[in-house]
Structure 1
Amino acid sequence: MLARRLVQPLFQPIVQLSSRAVVGMEALARGPAGTDVEFPDRLFAAARAAGRLGELDLLCSERALECALAAVQPPPLLFVNAEPGVLDQPLSPRLIELVSGGLPFREVLEFTERALPAVPGSMLRIAGLAQQWGTGLALDDVGVDPMSLAFLPILEPEVIKLDMSLLRSPDSAHTRAVCAVVRPEAQRTGAVVIAEGIETEDDLITARRLGADWGQGWLFGRPGPIDHGGRRYDAAAARMLRKPRPGFHEPAGTPFEVAAGHAPVAAADATSIAAAMARLRDTVAAHDTAVVVMSCPDARLPVDAMSLQELAGRARSVIVLDRPIADEFAALVIGPGYGYALCARSSNVLELLTLDELPAVAAVARVLLNRHS
């Protein structure tokens, strides 16, 4: 199947909820029709079992772009999924040829929330490359796992896709909590919110109540060939997304240098660093969704080892850099709608910075995660 490139994607429309105009298509992978691997669950399971998951994922992306390019009328936006387990693999020559040659539509690369804790460094590197090519970013399945909300301000995607489970339980405490994070983040960054799984008119009303701008689901069309039904697209759709920001996901400088752009630098000692660590531990203790990211160099900085162990023991997830920054200690906690960071540097004097504004904490997180394998 791989050798003969037998992946044949289907496409599902994405519409603007207020007008129902089709703004783009999402490519959905399919294996050869009538075989055991026709549908994506079995297709990707078979590739994983055979050790060929990376090749399949690249082929699915290639075929999605090839089919869209061959369409009688290409969509303004093409949404393509990325498999999180293989984000650290090199891109294929064919895929690079397609995306770097200039597309007549804007591609939107979808990261599922599983990519965030699994391969955050690779995710940011792929995001940075995508933005250089003009490709947009979408965070998929938002609401299934609280960790997706923790990483939302780090990725700052152009599109936030609400999982269909939120649409099925719009008045649950969980749905309200998710929307309470997504709405202000979308307003702050200009992201477009998409609701998935819209099957009825009532679903459409609910989706708009949850804050969705666009939607997809059987109400607007089932997956099919890209030219099915002679669809008419809203030609202005691509301009509705935020423009690419090359360099945003791979910022220059160290964590301390980036933090210094958001807060004043203060002289430090063991007491002030211990107080900042206590604030960090208290933030983690107050939430069961906390993600901690740390860079711990070999340099002699007055950071208590027991404090680090206690911090790590309380967090939902801990990421420790395998390439720490010399003469700098950095630790941050980030979660749905909150964040706190401290950065200490030892040069001629000991200096300390603390941050409690979420966008600033996310900026430091991007620097740290880019140094993580």
Structure 2
Amino acid sequence: MPTAHAPGTTPITGVTIDAVLAGRLVRPLFQPIVDLSTRTVVGVEALARGPAGSALEFPDRLFAAAGAAGRLGELDMLCFERALEGAMAAPVAPPLLFANGEPAVMDQPLSPRLMELFASRPSFRAILEYTERALPSVPGSLLRLAGQIQLGGNGVALDDVGVDPMSLAFLPVLEPEVIKLDMSLLRDPHATHSRTVCAVVRGEARRTGALVIAEGIETEDDLVTAREMGAQWGQGWLFGRPGPLDGAGHRYDRAAAAAVRASRPGFHQPDGTPFEVASARAPRLPGTAEGIAAALDRVRHIAASDDAAVVVASTDDLPVSLYELAGQARSTIVLDRPVPGEFAVAVIGPGYGHAVCFRSTGGPELVMVDDLPTVAAVSRVLLNRHTRG
């Protein structure tokens, strides 16, 4: 199939990913995000394009070429840089700029150019969007990057929520400022899966103050459905297609940046060990063999009953087989830097969590916790000790 190109342009041949990167030939386009109750524009999402009319114009081929050349990290960073540059150069900057991060390279450091742009203190808040593909592959890097973004007063969003049940399990761990509902939910809002996702997201938004955005709004009926699903903001062709910011003519709601929860530096990198975090919020019990066996039996039962669950484990001195313990869990993440003298297992799923933490020194002692925020905090401590995907 011939490559599509912009009307009135001649297709460009021979453009390589090396040339795109060397010439910084990524073009950012911007799609408006609106308040569904007022239809005022509250921000924009940056979408990357290669040279117009070339074989690398559209993101699927652009990113595939970068991946094949081993240069995906460079392209991802360049896209973020160009998005910031485009928003900063616009005659009127948006209150919020949303930009996507590529999960496969989320463990790379911020580029010098990106750090320079953030240091110049843009007039808008940047929101880095993670897709759920990042969750099982680079969870530790995801949290560390979230910490870096938060330091500058910016925020994070979890994108495509609803495509994979795993995204619901990780919601309380990441606690994003923004939750973006995948457009597939809007297309089938009465399906059992859609209702479950929206119920969990509404609960998480109430608990944490996260703002909910619905994607793929194309009609007035879609807008009504999005609001029924719990979305406050939305984006889609009903409000505008991707285009340049300089001619968009948006009238922005300047209060929008403050409507997104304030950043929380350090939140994603809590202090202490898993046992210390859990025991600060739940009672310590004698670490008897019988108590440990009963606690791990409960983990096993929970993991076996829900294939959307995620198990995170520090295996130092774990007295049972991890394979047996994980059961039917959707994903199992094992620490490559366990805490000496402790083992900890957290199982977390859509709207619930359970953790078991044991310490052999000074006791031994055992803590069991079902409180979701505490389980999420234990999971963050564990995941910050996980360095490999």
TM-score (norm 2): 0.93
**Cα distance between partner residues in 2 of 1:76 and 1:60:** 19
**Cα offset, 1:262, TM superposition:** 1.3
Q: Which residue of 2 aligns with 1:153?
A: 172
**Cα offset, 1:204, TM superposition:** 0.3
Within the candidate set 287, 305, 326, 2:320 is matched to 305
Counterpart of 2:243 in 1: which secondary structure? coil
Counterpart of 1:150 in 2: which secondary structure? helix
Within the candidate set 348, 369, 381, 1:355 is matched to 369
Within the candidate set 170, 181, 189, 2:189 is matched to 170
Query: What is the one-letter code of the residue matched to 2:353?
Result: G
Name stretches of at least 5 consecutive residues in structure 2 with no aligned partner. Answer: 1-19
| Residue pairs, 1:170-209, within 5 angstroms | 170-209=189-228
Q: Which residue of 2 aligns with 1:327?
A: 341
Counterpart of 1:334 in 2: which secondary structure? strand
User: Is residue 2:388 matched to residue 1:369?
Assistant: no
Q: 1:286 to 1:312 in 2, by over 3 A?
A: closer
| Residue pairs, 1:207-246, within 5 angstroms | 207-246=226-265
**Cα distance between partner residues in 2 of 1:103 and 1:251:** 28
| Residue pairs, 1:28-177, within 5 angstroms | 28-177=47-196
Counterpart of 1:305 in 2: which secondary structure? coil
**Cα offset, 1:118, TM superposition:** 0.9
**Cα distance between partner residues in 1 of 2:33 and 2:302:** 39
Q: Which residue of 2 aligns with 1:346?
A: 360
**Cα distance between partner residues in 1 of 2:140 and 2:373:** 18
User: Is residue 2:33 matched to residue 1:18?
Assistant: no
Q: Which residue of 2 aligns with 1:295?
A: 314
Query: What is the one-letter code of the residue matched to 2:155?
Result: G
Q: Which residue of 1 aligns with 2:12?
A: none
Counterpart of 2:202 in 1: which secondary structure? helix
Q: Encode CA deviations 1:211-239: one digit per residue, 9 max, x unaligned.
A: 00000000000000012232110010000
**Cα distance between partner residues in 2 of 1:312 and 1:363:** 20
The answer as to whether partners of 2:304 and 2:327 remain within 8 angstroms in 1 is no
**Cα offset, 1:372, TM superposition:** 0.2
Moved over 6 A (4+): none
**Cα offset, 1:313, TM superposition:** 4.1
Query: What is the one-letter code of the residue matched to 1:305?
Result: V
Query: What is the one-letter code of the residue matched to 2:101?
Result: A
**Cα distance between partner residues in 2 of 1:64 and 1:174:** 34
**Cα offset, 1:290, TM superposition:** 1.2
Q: Which residue of 2 aligns with 1:314?
A: 328
**Cα offset, 1:261, TM superposition:** 1.7
**Cα distance between partner residues in 1 of 2:128 and 2:119:** 14
Q: Which residue of 2 aligns with 1:249?
A: 268
Name stretches of at least 5 consecutive residues in structure 1 with no aligned partner. Answer: none
Query: What is the one-letter code of the residue matched to 1:153?
Result: P
**Cα distance between partner residues in 2 of 1:232 and 1:92:** 32
Residues paired across the two proteins, number: 368
Query: What is the one-letter code of the residue matched to 1:310?
Result: E
Q: Encode CA deviations 1:258-281: one digit per residue, 9 max, x unaligned.
A: 111210112221000000001111
Alpha-carbon RMSD across the aligned residues, in angstroms, is 0.9
TM-score (norm 1): 0.97
